[in-house]
Structure 1
């Protein structure tokens, strides 16, 4: 049952709160529960961690709007992050040359935005210490080269040229309808090494033709002097993609995503070597 303030916000957005259904995903309980219909997405925090995620999403979408980056509209939200009522984006995961180009345009706008970043600290990619040991065991068993991953992560952390970044411009966080895109999931919005969003998107595109489009754009934008910087990002983000996909128990993994991540480790190393040659 949705709380009355949420139901009121849903009605104000022109929808029937009783017509929404909960989107249940397999796996452990999540910090944010979600209800959807054809036009709305309602996020309801289930914990303090969930409230933090909702606040980051609301603040990120507001910041993105100032940056000229298209995002789903926020129809209402609780100041403490307990709930969010937003528009449901009509598109699907980023695919096709038009969508890739529009996503990279968004990355450019984010990096160039002079507006101050939101005050609340973003999420980070470092594993929770309480689950770190389990994740390391899973990663080793899954074939992640731990010393290479740690070295790549340290090298990326040492990159000095930083700009505003979405932080997780993953293909599923760019909802595309042709050349029209909406960017979601802003919890990592903060200062990141330049071109992080561009390389992250490239690494998550499953269609080789889409990756070729992204790579041409990146190579056309980065001066030769920036190639070592991008090579560091390529190594780090492709290895991190594999680490992400090995973090869950085997039964909860997406086989296609894991296979793609494994391919990208080799493709990323080849690209890094080319950039450094």
Structure 2
């Protein structure tokens, strides 16, 4: 949407194709406190504001799944599950999806004991015991939001320390409702009478059962780049872009969490969108 904003303000015709929901992963964040200009704002409100901004400028939106992109002459052809679109240039900003634990019966209990999104499922666990899997900043943000209304929050971290921002680590360690298991790995789920009852972990070589009413998994992401395998990617399937965010194919740009880069944050994603849009505008000058 940041890329669309810059292109629309340059009087270009813009189509945004979205497979799921507007705003990507940040839309599911219950609280954003590291975006300039806002002391605190929900991801839903932030993305809604940006959507309203580009809609007012005339942005077109289609909710479809992109299957492939190919070049035909001076045009890029985008094939979706419903239609085919042509444009002079394409910006890929498909982000990443939540990484899963890939344990037995996981699919069965997603949304019914296994969650990824606090904004979506947090309210189901008021006054109940929950576990958060992961120890990075996203996991700590989830834990801090949950601890306000749950009975307890247990963090399962595979490392020997929490790796989130120091200010969040401090809040977590000071909260009496939070317990942390370091050096721990989830081995499986405790299911009784087809109900989620907890998790089995391996903590420093010792197997333990952790009873809980639900878990929130926050162990990183996987790039949503499968339709673009014709482009150069790194070993983890993130799309490689140069300093101008142009991919290995001229006229196709990449922005956000699907790009190969060291730091993935909301602010770096918006920066990528800006760079990609300006690069695309420079590319389009060849057709004037």
TM-score with structure 1 setting the length: 0.23
As a proportion of its length, which structure holds more helix?
1
Query: Comparing both structures, which one devotes a greater share of its residues to strand?
Result: 2
